[in-house]
């Protein structure tokens, strides 16, 4: 005896468990007897009906991944939600970014990290490639893809309506890192303000061609050296900021002759 399966599927907003299947031994009225229902056909129909749509599933995965990375990095909710918005706009633009996210050995986290980078820059609380890469499943290997994806995001979203404002992420300065780095090193409010002012003077009066995170780390180290009592070692500053010890030393040597001007 050949059976016919009637699928009684409920609306998309109901749980998958609410899907009901009933087995009839007779075909429905007016049914043309062609091919009997197979288990594979039933499974395919149920799977397509109860699974999230591709776009919805991608958004759900992206939100979870971005929220997890933001939590690990201590990124505020506003920047986190801004990163989700960047991701959504990229998805609407097509699949060009999948080259950097779907290849062998790639988890896709580089795209989420790039979205966070853009959102944090817009929020005035930038994060370094090193920090963002460390929060991905790919680790340091993701840094290169993060950089490429940031360029792609700015190119693809900068042309759309409202995209120019979204991509207006400004220039990162050493002062942008000082408050967070200082907090990680246990600096007081007065110390942080002094370092921020020193970073602004450096920006206005010196031509220092180094990454802003490295100059911020060097200025913080200079401020701690001027403390009465025990300061912090370069190793401590490196561990808190993620800037290599040798990089801090090089920036420190360049800035040290200007210490009186920076901390006047």
Q: Residue 217: which CATH number?
A: 1.10.472.10
pTM above 0.85, yes or no: no
Per-residue pLDDT, 33: 43
Decide if pLDDT at 263 tops 60: yes
In the chain, the DSSP E strands lie at 4-8, 20-24
H helices present in the chain, as ranges: 39-50, 54-73, 77-92, 109-122, 129-134, 143-157, 163-166, 175-184, 189-205, 212-225, 234-241, 245-255, 259-262
The string of pLDDT tens digits covering residues 19-53 is: 443 434 444 554 444 444 444 443 344 344 434 45
Q: Is 74 left (phi over 0), alpha (psi -120 to 50) or beta?
A: left
Give the C-alpha separation, 241 to 237, whole Å. Answer: 6
Same domain assignment for residues 74 and 112? yes
Same domain assignment for residues 221 and 127? no
Tokens of residue 190, six digits: 């007065």
Has residue 20 been placed in a domain?
no
Domain boundary among 105, 132, 159: 159
Decide if pLDDT at 114 tops 80: yes
Number of domains making up the chain: 2
Q: What are phi and psi of 64, to 5 degrees?
A: -65, -45
Task: State the chain's mean pLDDT as an integer.
Answer: 78
């Amino acid at each position: 005896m050949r059976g016919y399966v009637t699928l009684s599927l409920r609306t998309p907003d109901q749980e998958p468990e609410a899907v009901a299947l009933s087995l009839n031994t007779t075909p429905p009225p007016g049914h043309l007897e062609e091919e009997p229902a197979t288990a594979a056909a039933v499974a395919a129909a149920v799977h397509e009906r109860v699974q999230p749509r591709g776009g919805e599933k991608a958004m759900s995965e992206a939100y979870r991944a971005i929220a997890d990375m933001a939590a690990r990095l201590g990124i505020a909710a506003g920047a986190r939600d801004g990163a989700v918005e960047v991701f959504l706009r990229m998805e609407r633009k097509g699949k060009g970014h999948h080259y950097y996210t779907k290849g062998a050995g790639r988890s896709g986290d580089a795209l989420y990290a790039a979205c966070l980078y853009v959102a944090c820059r817009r929020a005035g609380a930038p994060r370094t490639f090193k920090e963002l890469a460390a929060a991905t499943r790919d680790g340091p290997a993701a840094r290169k893809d993060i950089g490429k994806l940031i360029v792609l995001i700015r190119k693809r979203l900068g042309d759309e309506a409202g995209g120019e404002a979204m991509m207006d992420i400004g220039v990162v300065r050493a002062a942008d890192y000082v408050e967070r780095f200082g907090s990680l090193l246990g600096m007081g409010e007065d110390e942080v303000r002094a370092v921020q002012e020193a970073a602004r003077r450096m920006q206005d009066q010196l031509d220092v061609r180094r990454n802003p995170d490295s100059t911020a780390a060097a200025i913080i180290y200079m401020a701690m050296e001027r403390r009465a009592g025990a300061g912090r070692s370069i190793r401590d500053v490196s561990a808190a900021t993620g800037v290599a010890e040798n990089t801090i030393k090089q920036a420190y040597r360049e800035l040290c002759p200007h210490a009186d001007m920076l901390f006047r």
